[in-house]
Amino acid sequence: MSRDLENLAARAAPAIFVVLWSTGFIGTKYVIHNADPLTYLAIRMVVVVGLMAVIVAIARPAWPNRTEIGHSIVAGILVHGFYLGGTAVAISLSIPAGLSALIPGLQPILTSTIANRWLGERVTPLQWSGLLLGLAGVVLILHDRPMSGQAGWGWFASAVSLVSITLGTLYQRRYCGRIDWRSGNLVQYAAVAVFFTAGAFMFENRVVHWTAEFTLALAWLAVVLSIGSIGLLYWLIRRSAATSVASLFYLVPAVTAIMAYVLFDERLDIIAIVGMVACAAAVFLVNRRA
């Protein structure tokens, strides 16, 4: 029975991850209405550190050594720091939630290229075809979007998110795979809490409106996203090749756009919808076994 449950969990995990990860962009739009982006992230990370400290105190996992702590800090700054910071800043600069997921959606292209060189993973011709199809899908979704002024800075922030989550995923797989996820995540979140707090004091007025909307969205992002989806991501990274895990991010823009349409009435034209279908097909091709 335990083997059957494990197999079921392994099959369901990618879909659950995509849905949870997509809600991060939606939740961020809600909190940005009520707080400066880095200030909100600093508060979120303080909450997460407290929750992870309780988990670690109860479970008493093995603690990373000095070298592993250093690797955890680097991975945390990449996976959480610049990625979440870039996304929050992009949305604060009026990039719609449904589109703020698009640039990070290019991650599989960058990941497969680097993984091929850095991790020694072989990317098959079929997988390359899927990656190129996904890139074409993202280009279709991005067609006719403003790229200058405030929107331009928003897209730049999204590009920072792309590079950060790509390098962070690869770094996590190469250097942090043997670290217990509970103690490792506690180190990562503590480092990121300091990172965002410093950024908030350096660049923002630290405005926060403690509305019900802000509190509920913050709770969702802290508990479900920072603990649930990140734990699931690291589990997937340990079980799968980096290219296959990264390909899941192709689905995030489509799922986010559907959520944004329902919640915020953000609309997409037929060309963008075709692009989303192409992204879904790309995930299928990239995850096919040779």
The sign of the dihedral angle between the CA atoms of 68, 70, 73, 76 is negative
CA atoms of 248 and 197, how far apart (whole Å):
31
**Residue 151, burial from CB neighbour count under 10 angstroms (0-12, 13-18, 19+):** middle
Tell me which H or E stretch contains 4.
Answer: helix 2-32
The pLDDT score that the predictor gives to residue 186 is 95
pLDDT range class, residue 265, cuts 50, 70, 90: confident
CA atoms of 72 and 234, how far apart (whole Å):
12
Tell me which H or E stretch contains 29.
Answer: helix 2-32
Q: Among 87-96, 105-114, 129-138, 240-249, which is the least confidently predicted range?
A: 240-249
For residues 249-264, give the mean pLDDT: 81
Q: Among 4-13, 151-160, 227-236, 271-280, which is the least confidently predicted range?
A: 4-13
Report pTM: 0.80
Residue 242 burial (CB count, 10 A):
24
CA atoms of 81 and 164, how far apart (whole Å):
8
DSSP type of residue 240: S
Nearest CA-CA partner of 154 in 208, 100, 192, 203: 100
Residue 208 β-bridge partners: 35
pLDDT range class, residue 266, cuts 50, 70, 90: confident
**How far, in whole angstroms, is CA 215 from its chain's centroid?**
21
Instruction: Check whether 8 has a pLDDT greater than 70.
Output: no
pLDDT > 90 in the chain, percent? 35
Q: Which residue is it, tokens 């990239």?
A: 286
Residues contacting 162, CB < 8 A, separation 6+: 86, 103, 104, 106, 107, 110
Nearest CA-CA partner of 82 in 184, 6, 196: 196
Residues contacting 97, CB < 8 A, separation 6+: 25, 26, 28, 29, 91, 256, 259, 260, 264, 266
CA atoms of 221 and 54, how far apart (whole Å):
18
Reported as a single tens digit per residue, the pLDDT across 31-76 is 998 999 999 999 999 999 999 999 999 999 999 999 999 999 999 9
